[in-house]
Amino acid sequence: MDMDSENILLAKLKSEERDSEVTIFHLVHLYERAGEPLKAIPYLQQLLAGTQDANKVCRYNFNLGQLMEQTEDYESAVSYYYYALAVETNDKRTWYFIHNNLGFSLTALGRFKEGSKHK
């Protein structure tokens, strides 16, 4: 992993009082590309805890599900995807990918019948 980029993003995050969402997403993507999704989870959970916006709640849960897929923790991924589905959102693109990834994760768990409903 590019430690310089990580240090820059962490320093920027500490100096920001507001509007840190973009910086957090850059940090999350850095960890994701580096194959360290577990480092990204607390940052997404921080964003999730700080919003009431339905579209963001849906998207953050989806992103957390994706990170869990990367660690092959499909049970947790399924939980995050179901949390995302429980939110009323108008983001059709995210909605599509939630169903797709949920179907994949359920299939990975051997829950084929349940998974086929979401693909």
Helices (H) and strands (E) in the chain, counts: 7, 0
CATH number at residue 78: 1.25.40.10
Give the pLDDT mean for 91-109.
93
Q: Write out the residue range of the structural domain in which residue 39 sits.
A: 1-50
pTM (two decimals) = 0.89
107 and 68 in a common domain: yes
29 and 2 in a common domain: yes
> What three-state secondary structure class fits 64?
helix
The one-character DSSP state at 110 is T
pLDDT band at 13 (very low <50, low <70, confident <90, very high): confident
- What's the number of domains the chain is made of? 2
Residue 75 burial (10 A CB sphere; 0-12, 13-18, 19+): exposed
User: Which residue do the tokens 């507001």 mark?
Assistant: 18
Mean pLDDT, the chain, rounded, equals: 91
Which pLDDT belongs to residue 1? Answer: 65
> Nearest 5°: CA angle at 101, between 95 and 103?
105
Q: Which tens digit of pLDDT belongs to each residue from 16-60? A: 766 688 899 899 999 999 999 999 999 999 999 999 999 999 999
In residues, how long is the chain?
119
80 and 58 in a common domain: yes
